[in-house]
Amino acid sequence: MSERYQGLRFERKRPKWLVPVIFVSIIIVIIGFLLYINHTYDDYLKLDYVDKLVLEEYEKLYTNSNGNKELEDLDIKSKTVVFISEDNFKVYVMNSKNAKNDLFTQKVNVPESRNVNVHKISILNPSVIKILLSSKVPEAGTTYKLNGEDVFYYRYSRDKNIDELNSVNHLSVELVHNMYNYYKQNDWQPVLDVSSGMITNEIYNAYNTELVELGNIQNELRQTEPNKQKLGEYAYQYVRAVEKMREIDPDYTNKVLYRETYNGVPRYYSIQGAKTVGYSFDIMYYNNEQNVSFSNVITSINAGGVSKSFLYERGSYEIGALLCKLLDTLEVDYRSKVDANNKDNKITLYDILVEYLNLPEDL
């Protein structure tokens, strides 16, 4: 062969339709695989270990809700909940009234002894896709549907929602908190903004007195049979401290009292929910320590271990939850009163406590 023809190649021209066909075929295979996976392992005992923990904990939550005023108030037994794993993208719906086996749905076979109704839902379900494109947690005022019924959804992961100790992120704790936000606080005024710059030396000193009294209330409430007379005396001193703070800066004080109600009530509900599933969580619980005293907060801030922002951020959850527990112990029906909150009417736990104590205007 002459040099003229050396290296000559004869190539068949690739059809233009080949690449799109291959792409579509791959997509179809992936979709088919995902649908197939959703219809396998339909036995409850063969589910992923973490998924079973999640389903079992929620089962305990609504099974043990009888007699729990907070869970009964949320009417948790009537709720249909979608659980979405952020670890393996599995999706489950519990307590569904409409779910049935179809292309996207597979009923999970559970032992007859279990009080649970579970279906696996394909991540390709259009309603699931819509939820995945929604906010991280359900937003009050927005309706989410699956199979034609209203649902509440919760995204979970093992590291964040299962394994951590004494955590506000634990499944039952966070779930109940989010449920209260979603079902009960749509008409409330949004939580009012405050900043560390508003905490003057005078306000800071007033906090010191307030937190000492809250610590006394906290310690008494931890007794097997709290003394209501002592609680009333500590509550009176706490009110005096708050009124002193209000004299210094009424705007800041009123905002913080509302924050303590807005954040504290759902926190107390979540604490009560955790009790029904046997999870160790309560007021002033942290990942590395339980039963932190309110009276130690100022010491920690002065030592640089805690920011002043604790007083109105995390502190609003803890103080509000303590006031709920105090009112509960004093047999005050605070729930129906805070339910009357709306954008034009701010009712605080502090107001309810003052009303109960029947204190004179001039303390």
Helices H / strands E in the chain, number of each = 13, 7
Rounded Cα gap, residues 254 and 194, in angstroms: 10
**Cβ–Cβ under 8 Å, residues 152 and 145:** no
Tens of pLDDT along the chain (363 residues) come to 445 545 555 556 666 655 565 555 555 555 554 554 555 556 777 888 999 999 999 999 989 999 999 999 999 999 999 999 999 889 999 989 888 888 888 888 887 767 778 999 988 899 999 999 999 999 999 999 998 999 999 999 999 999 999 999 999 999 999 999 999 999 999 998 999 999 999 999 999 999 999 999 999 999 999 999 999 999 999 999 999 999 999 999 999 999 999 999 999 999 999 999 999 999 999 988 899 999 999 999 999 989 999 999 999 999 999 999 999 999 999 999 999 999 999 999 999 999 999 876 666
Retrieve residue 84's tokens.
Answer: 């979405």
Write the CB contacts of 191 (distance below 8 Å, at least 6 apart in sequence): 258, 259, 262, 263
Question: Which pair of tokens denotes residue 184?
Answer: 């009960």
3-state secondary structure of 163: coil
SS (H, E, C) 198-250: HCCHHHHHHHHHHHHHHHHHHHHHCCCCCCHHHHHHHHHHHHHHHHHHHHHCH
Residues 43-64 as b/e (b if ≥16 CB within 10 A, e otherwise) read ebeebeebbebbbebbbbbbee
Give this prediction's pTM: 0.88
Take residue 303 and report the two structure tokens written for it: 């030592």
